Amino acid sequence: MEAKYGLSRDFIFKDAVRFLKGKRALTSEEYRLLDDESRAKAFTVSGYTSLQMLQEFLDCLTKAAEEGTTKEQFLKDMNNFLEEHGYEGMNPWKSDNIFRTNMQTAFNAGHYKSMTDETTKKMRPYWQYKTAGDGHVRETHQAMAERVFPADDPIWDVWYPPNGFRCRCMVVSLTRAQVERRGLTVEHEIPYDVDYSTGEIIPAFPDKGFSNNPAKAVWKPDMTNISEPLRKVFKERNTAKKQ
């Protein structure tokens, strides 16, 4: 990756680990009260309400990023923990969904930080959207395939991957010379389709719940409309995390 994209793989993985370590385990009820930007720094798993369980999920995922744990080992470790605490183990599909989505989010967050370094962005001012390029790519994601936009284009606030559960898309940075040599067009408008029966223009968007850039978000949730007891939960949990 280093030679191909001009970015250090070591830095990307270190930033991926930092991204996971910066998350906070929350119950589904707490998570639902957050806006999309705040959710990017939170972590929850559907079907589990115990913070101990949720923290174990997060710790196992962080360990996977640090040590290169496989998804099979993640499933084994988590099922041992769940069964020891009286819970039924996960099925492989759910484990795969949790593992892939969170690892992709963390990796892409690390990649984003590397690409937005001022020196890197000056040398490689264009970003290109890449899919896995096989028959399993979602139609909406395929609409972005190979498209090039300036690194600071607002489209990356919406279309920076992952853009759905188990999404395998990523973004690579390009120099001006690469763009010119490959005959690529730098775009500024979101892809769209046309409903010819009505003439309606339909912009392409990521899967529901993924129209934001988790890598860009910061852990500063807006507490204005959240109840006082929940504000206390956030304060206590953030304080405990820093100790």
- CA dist., res. 195 & res. 133, Å (int): 26
Residue 192 CB coordination number (10 Å): 12
The predicted model gives 199-223 an average pLDDT of: 77
The pLDDT of residue 38: 73
pLDDT of 96 over the 90 cut: yes
pTM value surpassing 0.85 = no
pLDDT score of 6: 44
Confidence label for 23 from pLDDT (cuts 50, 70 and 90): confident
Task: Let me know: does 164 contact 186? Beta carbons within 8 Å.
Answer: no
Give pLDDT tens digits for 186-202: 999 999 988 888 888 88
Mean pLDDT of 203-223: 75
Whether residue 205 has pLDDT greater than 90? yes
pLDDT score recorded for residue 46:
86
Residue 220: pLDDT over 70 = no
With a cut of 60, say whether residue 185 has pLDDT above it.
yes
User: pLDDT, tens digit, for every residue of 37-95?
Assistant: 677 778 889 888 888 899 999 999 999 989 888 999 999 999 999 999 998 999 999 99
pLDDT at residue 214 in the model: 81
Predicted local distance difference test score (pLDDT) of residue 233 = 59
